[in-house]
Amino acid sequence: MKARKGLIFTVLIFLAVVAAGAQTVTITYWQYFYESKVKLVDELIKKFEAANPGIKVEQVTFPYESFNQKVAASIPAGEGPDVITLFYGWLPMYVKGGYLQELPPAEFNKAYFDKTYYPFVAESVDFGGKYYSAPTAVRTLALIWNKKLFKEAGYDPNTPPRTLEELVTYAKKLSKFDAQGNLVQSGLLMQPSGQGHSWLREVLFRQFGNLPYSADYRKVSYADANGVAAFKWYTDLITKDKVGYPNFATDDVTAFKAGKGAMNIDGSFRIATLNAVKDLEWGVAELPSYKGIKSNYASYWTHGIVSGTKGKKLEASIKFLKYLTSPEVQELWLERVGELPATPALSEKYKNDPVVQPFLKGLAYAKASLFVDEAGQRTVFVDMIDEVVLKKADPAAVLKAAAAKEQAIIDNFWK
Amino acid sequence: MNMKKPKPGTIAAYLVLSLFSIVMLFPFVWMLSSSLKDATQIFKLKLFPDAPTLDNYRYILFSESSKFPRWFLNSAIVAVCTTVSVLFFDSLLGYTLSKYRFPGKNIIFMLIVSTLMIPTEMLVIPWYAMARSLKWVNTYWGIMFPGMISAFGVFLMRQFMQTIPDDLIDAARVDGRGEFMIFLTVVLPLVTPALATLAIFNFIGNWNAFLWPLIAASKPRMFTLPVGLANFSGEAGSDWHYIMTGAAVAMAPLVAVFLLFQKQIVRGIAMTGLKG
Amino acid sequence: MTLATKRAITAYTFLALPLVFFICVRLGPMLYMLVMSFSDWGLLRKQTRFIGLGNYVTIFSDPVFLQSLGNTMRYAIFGAPAVIAISLSIALLLDLIPKGKALFRLIYVLPYITPIVAVSWVWRWMYLQPPLGVINELLMAIGLPAQGFLNSPDQALQSIMAVNVWAELGYCTTIFLAGLQTIPKEISEAARIDGANGRLLLFKVTLPLLLPITLFLTVMEGIQFLRIFTQVYNMSFQAMGGPLNSTKSAALYIYQKAFTNFEMAQAASASLVLFVIIMTVTAIQLKFFDKKMNY
């Protein structure tokens, strides 16, 4: 009898193994197209599939500009992904639209997030105690500069400006003009549609003594005297000092890569892009401070599971999501993409890395804006800067109108 | 007949026309020049690059990370399939509407021609709703279906079919051939010039189409060339040397078609215009 | 069954599939749009309700929509006549020259057949501000000041319009030239014998004879400019129709409403408004030229 039981047992195990092998689950993973990230995830998928036989992952990417629209159009129709990486600023919209499902609370609860992530991450993924997503990496802003152009202007290529006052001095000296007075080399690239709007929103406003939003980000409050001063300081760089202007040489990244811009405010995700440019020597520094005040803007992309995913696919998706947020991947992400580990402890060993360090320092005091409509709120900033730069409008009036416009977007979302 | 000296007016005309040709051609020349420059040379505004290179073309056409070959294939599939379908259905419709007598003929013709008044922009929203509910998004069929029959082509083919003598068709009927066979073997060979014109215009139109493919294809591997090109400049800056090379690659097949069939194209344009 | 009935059945068989196509892909969707424009259909909403004229109220109180309508009219009012005037002049010049007509025409038609997306990016590259844009480089070489072009809210619309004029010229020139060649030589000869000089001949004989073609082309080009989308999408920064919405056309507004904001019903209403405008402008043009032709 025993032998027979054993035989049945063996057969059952054998059948189970065969069944598992035959029943391959394929899950679809979406992220926006950013070359270094896409390449890395391709490798991660290979590793993940090797470790988890029976699960196949298909990566699909879309251009940044159309990512949101593809997602919103596909998920309700049930033709979207299982696991998706989205910008944290889109979370409220996704959660409200019912696109994401709650992650299993047994594992993904307040205790877990508080223990694993930076406080600003734990706060911004919390939707009334429910958690819909978890990130791998976070990003902050820093000042990057072109060492060759510093040398040309007679500056020490290893000493960047430390304060906003110094920044203006440097930017002026690093700007070059042709005989007609057209800017041909930008001292400081001014690209509101890139990182410029975040620099103004979370850094400059605060440095000039303004609180741009209420704590829950439902009240816009940057249109006071200090806010106007910060806004004027930013637009003066374009209109008075003429050290740069929006879309100079197509955009800030193109200009910096081409050596047409001496300094830029950019994010840690750009490290891989800039390292790939031949003959470009560049440095990174903490964002310049003002009157002793430091501030920074942090943001992150975060992974969620779409509401329609069920059964075996859901199990596989949770496994994949856990893998993507694992310490191993977080470190690879820093190495290959340049984004910082979302778990503070993991960055310890990079404390002295000259490229990573300035970004890490910023993380300590960074704020992550809570967007309800990231594209819409970004457009408000881009347009208000254009109004002053291109239409010579009065900064105070423009800022007031913009604040009202952004308030309307926020109110419309929460009503 | 005595040899006439060219009049000053004629010389002036040549001069103006030549200057104008430069304006018309310069963008193409600048595109080609830019496509032969590398990432650093591209920012030096020289018509003739210091060190012309084909590396950009190598990258766009052959590198593993370039999606252009796939987009090229997609565009070719879409343009060829819609053109074959349009040729078949439009000539069949044109033939039926000009050579058969049946109740409702004029109403049907008016109905088809009236759809010419509805521009694509009006229809992409319902098409998208349709494609979504039928799961056609990101499929070739999804990109192609609105272009499978062209109302303009029906109008054009009907005009041509009317020039075919009825006797020819009746003679074939007397021979006992089936109606569909008559269409294929007797009628179609007689309208080949019109078919050629329709084919060329339809191919060009579908190769260049932008709005609907932009909506119908969301996955990069289903992009057509224009959609791919429009999405080429991304968050990591604009690689102008690649963009110009991509533009040149997207244009190449059309310029080839154009040079091969210029007579038909010019005749086709003139014909459609004069019909109005 | 009579022969006629048999033939009719054959005809209906041939027509069946294409008719289904035209009803399902053209007429049906148009009707669907009309109906849905009275609803609150949106991709982000789970249910759709009918809200009467609500969408029309919403879009007409949206300053961006009104601006996009204004921009669309500017594209058409300045763009279409420019194409007609320039292409007519070129056709008349081409008609003057004894040799080389075909070559010139070939050069002029080239932009018309190349993909708009590709040429838009080429022009965008050329339009850049110093130190990268070749047009500004040329302007400065002859001592003129550099211009903002696509980066200036006052010039961006004209810059995009110019590209469309450039692209459409060949088409109109070819048709005008074909029209000129159909004018019987006897008419101009007769006028010459009557003592008409070149200018008189042009204004009293040639141009009136070209009037039907001009009418046709004005309508065609008017519609073409009213529908402008691809150029704006590809030539404005991040396809936004900027700077400050100064280049946004109605078609781009509709696209953004539908596929960025997912307000499908509002987009449907906006497209019906555009449709009515296109029809009205066409009707006005037809009427205007009709009077001219009858006098």
Summarize pLDDT for A253-290 with one digit per residue, the tens: 999 999 999 999 999 888 888 988 888 999 999 999 99
DSSP track, B25-61: HHHHHHHHHHHTS-TTGGGS--SS-SS--SHHHHHHH
Identify which of A64, A73, A257 has the shortest CB distance to residue B234. Answer: A64
Identify which of B133, B135, B237 has the shortest CB distance to residue A251. Answer: B237
> Which value, to the nearest 10 degrees, does the dihedral of the CA atoms of residues B38, B39, B43, B47 take?
10
Residue A230 in any domain: the answer is yes
pLDDT digits (tens, 9 = 90+) for C61-85: 999 999 999 999 999 999 999 999 9
Q: Which chain C residues have a beta carbon less than 8 Å from that of B237?
A: none
Residue listed under structure tokens 């939707």 = A127
Q: Which chain B residues have a beta carbon less than 8 Å from that of C25?
A: 123, 127, 145-146, 148
pLDDT at A71 over 60: yes
Domains of chain C: 63-294 (1.10.3720.10)
CA–CA min distance A254, chain C (Å): 11
Q: How confident is the model at residue A20 (pLDDT cuts 50, 70, 90)?
A: low
User: A268 and A171 in one domain?
Assistant: yes
| Contact status, residue A129 vs residue A112, Cβ threshold 8 Å | no
Which pTM value belongs to this model? 0.90
List, as own/partner pairs, every contact residues B53-59 make where C-beta atoms lie below 8 angstroms and the sequence separation is at least 24, other chains included.
Answer: B56/B241, B56/B242, B56/B244, B56/B245, B57/B245, B57/B249, B59/B242, B59/B245
User: A303 and A201 in one domain?
Assistant: no
Q: How confident is the model at residue A19 (pLDDT cuts 50, 70, 90)?
A: low
User: A31 and A164 in one domain?
Assistant: no
| Contact status, residue C53 vs residue C139, Cβ threshold 8 Å | no
Report the residue of C129, C150, C154, C252 to disrupt the A interface, i.e. the one with the largest count of A CBs within 10 Å. Answer: C129
CA–CA min distance A256, chain C (Å): 13
Here the CATH number for the domain that contains residue A406 is: 3.40.190.10
CA distance linking residue A85 with residue A38, whole number of Å: 12
Cβ within 8 Å, pair A182-C130: yes
User: A314 and A274 in one domain?
Assistant: no
pLDDT digits (tens, 9 = 90+) for C154-210: 999 999 999 999 999 999 999 999 888 888 877 777 777 776 677 777 777 788 888
Report which of residues B27 and A348 the model is more confident about: B27
User: A160 and A276 in one domain?
Assistant: yes
CA distance linking residue A413 with residue A218, whole number of Å: 10
Residue A50 in any domain: the answer is yes
Q: Looking at the 3D structure of chain A, how many domains does it have?
A: 2
- Provide the β-strand partners of residue A85: A303
User: A407 and A312 in one domain?
Assistant: no
CA distances C102 to B37, B201, C92, C95, C99, Å, are 33, 19, 14, 11, 8
CA distance linking residue A305 with residue A133, whole number of Å: 7
Report the residue of B1, B16, B18, B24 to disrupt the C interface, i.e. the one with the largest count of C CBs within 10 Å. Answer: B24
Nearest CA in chain C to A245: C151
CA distance linking residue C113 with residue B201, whole number of Å: 9
- C282 residue type, one letter: T
User: A152 and A41 in one domain?
Assistant: no
Cβ within 8 Å, pair C243-A73: no
Name the B residues in 55-84 with CB < 8 Å from any C CB. Answer: none
For a pLDDT cut of 70, what percent of chain B falls above it? Answer: 95
Cis peptide before C243 (omega within 30 of 0): yes
pLDDT digits (tens, 9 = 90+) for C208-237: 888 888 988 998 899 999 999 999 999 998
CA–CA min distance A87, chain C (Å): 16
Q: What is the pLDDT of residue B276?
A: 36
Q: What angle do CA C174, C175, C179 make, to 5 degrees?
A: 120
Identify which of C114, C131, C258 has the shortest CB distance to residue B125. Answer: C258
Q: What is the pLDDT of residue B114?
A: 87
User: A151 and A248 in one domain?
Assistant: yes
User: A305 and A157 in one domain?
Assistant: no
Residue A12 in any domain: the answer is no
Residue A92 in any domain: the answer is yes
Domains of chain B: 69-220+236-275 (1.10.3720.10)
Nearest CA in chain A to C256: A69
Within 10 angstroms of residue B64's Cβ, the number of other Cβ atoms is 4
pLDDT digits (tens, 9 = 90+) for C253-275: 999 999 888 889 999 999 999 99
Q: How confident is the model at residue C294 (pLDDT cuts 50, 70, 90)?
A: very low
Mean pLDDT across chain B, nearest whole number? 89
Identify which of A77, A251, A257 has the shortest CB distance to residue B132. Answer: A77
Domain residue limits at A107: 26-139+299-367
Maximum separation of any 2 CA atoms in chain B, in Å: 75
| Contact status, residue C86 vs residue C169, Cβ threshold 8 Å | yes
Q: How confident is the model at residue A66 (pLDDT cuts 50, 70, 90)?
A: confident
Q: What is the pLDDT of residue C57?
A: 96
Within 10 angstroms of residue C284's Cβ, the number of other Cβ atoms is 12
CA distance linking residue C67 with residue C73, whole number of Å: 10
The number of C-alpha atoms within 13 Å of B165 and in the hemisphere containing its C-beta is: 4
Interhelix angle C101-113/C156-182, nearest 10 degrees: 140
Residue A20 in any domain: the answer is no
User: A181 and A127 in one domain?
Assistant: no
CA distance linking residue C61 with residue C53, whole number of Å: 13
Residue A388 in any domain: the answer is yes
Q: Which chain A residues have a beta carbon less than 8 Å from that of C262?
A: 69, 72-73
CA distances B235 to A18, A195, A252, A267, A337, Å, are 45, 11, 10, 12, 14
| Contact status, residue B10 vs residue C101, Cβ threshold 8 Å | no
Q: What is the pLDDT of residue B275?
A: 42
Q: What is the pLDDT of residue B1?
A: 43
Q: Where are the alpha helices (DSSP H) in chain B?
A: 8-35, 55-62, 68-99, 105-114, 120-133, 140-144, 151-161, 166-174, 179-182, 188-190, 192-208, 211-216, 225-230, 240-260, 262-275
pLDDT digits (tens, 9 = 90+) for A159-189: 999 999 999 999 999 999 999 999 999 999 9
User: A222 and A103 in one domain?
Assistant: no
Residue A36 in any domain: the answer is yes
Mean pLDDT across chain A, nearest whole number? 90
Residue A247 in any domain: the answer is yes
Report the residue of C113, C120, C229 to disrupt the B interface, i.e. the one with the largest count of B CBs within 10 Å. Answer: C113
* Helix or strand run (H / E) with residue A75: none
User: A42 and A71 in one domain?
Assistant: yes
Best CA proximity match to C116, nearest among C251, C232, C258: C232
pLDDT digits (tens, 9 = 90+) for A191-232: 999 999 999 999 999 999 999 999 889 999 999 999 999 999
Q: What is the pLDDT of residue C181?
A: 85
